[in-house]
Amino acid sequence: MASYREKDRRKKGYRALTRGLVAIAVGDSKRATHFSRQTKSYLNGENGLPVLLEAQAARLRGEEGLAQNKFELLMKDKDAAFLGIRGLLKSAIDEGNMALALDYARRAQELHPNQEWILRTTYDLEIRNGLWSDALETGKRALKIGALSEQKAI
């Protein structure tokens, strides 16, 4: 009986998680928050996607501080660290803190060194921060893997 209840809770938790992610995708903060709470209740103690849902719901509500705390929590989870870095990178860019954004972009690049969007973002942030020699090196790497065209590279 206990096993059945646990399976039922997990099933309800993942259903709430899916519905919450859909609410995030359409920008419905009220439903995202509702499903985030349900997910947390059903999947108590799990990190990763439930925490991502909490962070994104907080961001939709305009609670950037709470969202950042959740993204930082994700960074401590080895399986979900990249999700935290990406959330914090977006927050830093949105706030106009290009030095901090570059730090997060470089962390993302450590985890996924040949991901095109990460290389392009790092390149752009190095330029914005006036780090010309770093941008030149990143531009060369990005050009080599096709992340930048010759016209956009330095």
pLDDT in tens, the chain (154 residues): 888 888 899 999 999 999 999 999 999 999 999 999 999 999 987 889 999 999 999 999 999 999 999 999 999 998 999 999 999 999 999 999 999 999 999 999 999 999 999 999 999 999 999 999 999 999 999 999 988 887 766 5
Sign of CA dihedral 116, 117, 121, 122: negative
Tens-digit pLDDT profile for residues 104-139: 999 999 999 999 999 999 999 999 999 999 999 999
Whole-number Å distance between alpha carbons of 133 and 130: 9
Contacts of 57 (CB under 8 A, 6+ apart): 20, 23, 24, 29, 32, 33, 35, 36
In this predicted structure, what is the pLDDT of residue 154? 58
- Residue 86 tokens, joined: 């990406």
Q: pTM for the whole thing?
A: 0.84
Cα atoms found within 13 Å of the Cα of residue 100, Cβ hemisphere only? 13
